[in-house]
Amino acid sequence: MAKEKKPTIDVDGITYLRIPVKTHVIQPTDSPAEVVFQYVKDIQQPGDIIFISEKAVSVTQGRSIPTSQIKVGFLAGFLWKHVTKSPHGVGLRNPYSMQCAINECGACRILLASIVGAIGKLLGRRGDFYRVAGPQASGIDAPNTSPVPGFESNVSLGPKDPDKVALAIKNKTGLETAIVDINDLGGVVLGATPGIDWTLIPRILKDNPLGQGNELTPFGIIRRQ
């Protein structure tokens, strides 16, 4: 049974309330700004901050791709087997997600990243692959890692233009907004409006208040107490 998330957290002596917002299953036809506005218009308060999962944004951009639409080539079929298992998730240790990384970053860059990563392992270093491949590769989630109905077998790519998406949400709601990649091991801000502190938000969300399961809470509100 999943451990219940606490609604509040103290950071630097300040208490923040995190309010997960339950929605319908986000679809490719949805607009992030319209969806957020629909569900927060009656509960938002001045000074609130919106944080929205990168997976929800990716779905609306057509970047959640069924494996049936992904043709795995020779390079992906070879490389995925050599990806190190990570506590952070499957990542590119899957032929479909590796193929998507090649499609996103280019075969030459992924091959170079693989060579540099292999050398790094011999030297006792970790993370060289993703440092070379870049955030487009590190933001890819493998199939069968999403519990959201209808998207279980999809590969999820990182969102495009997250700063632009965040600004559209702010323009609709009036609230500062951050697009985040958060899980039970931590997280990062991928894009945000100018008023967001990129280092503070991950600390406020470090226990992943949206959850890892099928809660259908793709975004939430941060409210200073």
- Kindly state whether residues 133 and 76 are assigned to the same domain: yes
- Kindly state whether residues 144 and 38 are assigned to the same domain: no
More reliable by pLDDT, 186 or 190:
190
pLDDT band at 22 (very low <50, low <70, confident <90, very high): very high
Q: By percentage, how much of the chain surpasses pLDDT 70?
A: 94
What is residue 161's three-state secondary structure? coil
Find the angle CA(142)-CA(55)-CA(163) to the nearest 5 degrees.
Answer: 125
Indicate whether 139 belongs to any domain.
yes
Enclosing domain of residue 49: 8-62+158-224
- Report how many domains make up the chain: 2
pLDDT, mean over the chain: 92
- Kindly state whether residues 163 and 55 are assigned to the same domain: yes
- pTM for this prediction: 0.88
* Per-residue confidence (pLDDT) for residue 1, from 0 to 100: 44
Report the relative pairing of strands 176-183 and 154-156 from DSSP bridges.
Answer: unpaired
For the segment 97-125, the average pLDDT, to the nearest whole number, is 94
pLDDT at 205 over 60: yes
